Chain A
Amino acid sequence: MLQFLIKRFGQSVILILIVTLITFFLINLAPGGPASMMRMDATAEERAALSERLGLNDPIPVRYGKWLGDAVQGDLGPSLSSGQPVMDRIVERFPHTLKLAFWTIIFSVIIGVVLGIISARNRNTWRDHTINFGSVIGLSIPSFWLAIMLILLFSVQLQWLPSAGTGEGFVGQFKSMIMPVIILSTATLPTIVRFTRSSMLEVVSQNYVRTARAKGMKEKTVIYSHALRNALIPVISIIGVLIPRLLSGTVIVESVFGWPGMGRLIVEAAQSRDYNLVMGVTVVATVLVIFSNFIVDIIYSKVDPRVKNIG
């Protein structure tokens, strides 16, 4: 366990370094900067002074070094657009994104596994074809378009669900989450359905499933205990892959639904060329991905006894 943790930690540090390095260079190479985002009537001197004050005239590698030096000590710097510490702005937004991501994963895993099983059990029938068709549609429809369509239908026409915000009270919060979670799920749910389906189909033709039947087990036990336990193993590992996809989905979904999370924050940060904020969100998102993959690995080792238990 300890050895595993140390190895994992080392890998994570390297990963974070690479991600921040690439992000830092990309954003700094993009045209414009905090100074060009000032008021329209700012003079050239004012802009130059701002750049000087923010240390933007140093070469990029030097600035990355400085940023990294501070970041290692837990200081992600001030937001260039608001002056607040970056950490504060992220802490304020983070729970909202976490909430969306968490419920999206729960929703897509439960519904995805159920649909995947139905699809596999009714292979090549209309049920299977319908589910397959739905998956393809879900994966191929652009989420911003679908979001707008849903808003038009459920918020504007039917007035069932709020079109923006996080909602008040339990019911309000629940209602305001429905559309964002559904939109986010279009990127994750179809993948889980497909994985469950193919994995289930493979598992039911395995010898041990025949053994379970030969023992006279009820068909329900055969499918939901003997087969499903095995079929879920690859499904669990795919969840780790889906998390980055999910986080990038929040950028669009949070913008469309006025959801005060990190997805919208990074859009604001990028628009105002708030370098520190962009870097901060990047680091937190990377850590989130690494951490959730770690959780996935622990669950994986619990479900598959052939993998050494790590948790």
Chain B
Amino acid sequence: MKTLLEVKNLSVEFKTEDGSVRPLDQASFQVEEGQTVCIVGESGSGKSVTSLAIMRLLEFENGKITDGQILFEGEDLATKSAEEMRKIRGSEMSIIFQEPMTALNPVFTIGQQLMEGLQLHQGFSKKEAWNRSCELLNLVGINDAQDRMKQYVHELSGGMRQRVMIAIGLSSNPKLLIADEPTTALDVTIEAQILNLLTELKDKINMSIILITHDMGVAAEMADYIVVMYAGKIVEQGTVYQLFDEPTHPYTKGLLQSIPSAEATTDERLYSIRGTIPSLNNLPTGCRFHPRCDFATDKCLTEVPPLVKENDRLVACWNINDVLEKSRGEKVEIL
């Protein structure tokens, strides 16, 4: 398999009123061709920031890439000029945003919003763009495409809007599609439809997907590879089998335990990791997870654990052995 995207030591900073914060700190991971990589983590862990950084969209807001490389087919996006980057966005790589309700422009028709990218990047004529747009709408499961093309955003339901966003994302047959919680705002049946759609389309045009989610169930379903983030740092990453079979970081373990199981009875309390994610301008010293961690030792309070290869995957924890011992003990108990 060929590597499509390699993120190396990527760091991002935001300028805010009370100084600058660093929502992404030295993140590294890879996306192979045709693979689906899921980035998981609680709200505020930096998943969206990572995706915006890869698309180089942060510089339009108050953010900046301060360190690291984003190698896309071997070329570093972090150092590309604004104009070079613009040509890549929406053609080689596209993104579906988290907020389907507000991500489309209210004063343009669906057709206008679909066609403009095709006309710009593919040099399509108006007519070609129209036909291709209708095809794309059909592809994402919108049947009355001709009519929908003429409609405005407020005439569409949330699920419809997200499908349109996906159609826009796919319009250029991108090599990489970043889907930032594409289904969070939608109800469960539509969620399933949209995820199926993504899988189907991925195979059809052999693209890679970075799927961002905080739902471990979705990750289990979709991912080839999983990257776990916590408070701006990658704490563990590995194949879906490795992570689900033997979560090695206490945070990953916590996330997996928080999945409601089908057999759980109603009076059984749902597991949740104690405490909450820290704010960026008040990060704990040492391992950022230590205040919430059952395995924390003195070392965790002062020293940042590096992301190293352990137990067949990359993990950043000082107490891997304790964690694994405990898990193995638990498993025996269950058996």
Contact = CB atoms under 8 A, between A and B. Distances in A.
B103 interface: yes
B152 interface: yes
A217 interface: yes
Interface residues of B, number: 31
Contact of A304 (B91, B104, B107, B116): B107
A39 B35 CA distance: 98
B57 A306 contact: no
A206 interface: yes
Contacts of A304: 106-107
A216 B168 CA distance: 11
Contact of A214 (B57, B116, B121): B57
B152 A214 contact: no
A215 B168 contact: yes
B117 interface: yes
Interface stretch (B94-102, B123-131, B217-225, B242-250): B94-102
Given A215-B117, A216-B117, A217-B116, A210 B168 contact: no
Interface residues of A, number: 23
Contact of B97 (A211, A218, A233, A305): A211
B317 interface: no
A245 interface: no
Nearest to A228: B107
B94 A218 contact: no
Interface string B135-171: 0000000000000000010100000000001001000
A216 B107 contact: no
A226 B121 CA distance: 17
Nearest to A222: B60
Main secondary structure of the interface of B (DSSP, over half): mixed
Contacts of B104: 208, 211
Contacts of B86: 216-219
Interface string A178-208: 0000000000000000000000000001111
A218 B57 CA distance: 13
Contacts of B107: 229-230, 233, 303-305
B321 to A, nearest CB: 44
B105 interface: yes
A211 B165 CA distance: 9
Interface-centre pick from B60, B105, B108 (highest chain A CB count, 10 A):
B105
B55 interface: yes
B154 A208 contact: no
Contact of B102 (A208, A212, A214): A208
A217 B106 CA distance: 17
B308 interface: no
A216 B99 contact: no
Contacts of B80: none
B91 A212 contact: no
A214 B105 contact: no
A96 interface: no
Given A207-B99, A305-B152, A305-B154, A213 B57 contact: yes
Interface string B2-35: 0000000000000000000000000000000000
Interface string B261-303: 0000000000000000000000000000000000000000000
Contacts of B116: 215, 217, 221
Contacts of B90: 214-217
B212 to A, nearest CB: 14
Interface of B: 55, 57, 60-61, 82, 86-91, 94-95, 97, 99, 102-109, 116-117, 120-121, 152, 154, 165, 168
Given A208-B105, A216-B91, 16 more contacts: A208-B102, A210-B57, A211-B97, A211-B104, A214-B89, A215-B168, A216-B117, A217-B120, A218-B86, A226-B105, A230-B105, A233-B107, A305-B106, A305-B109, A305-B152, A305-B154
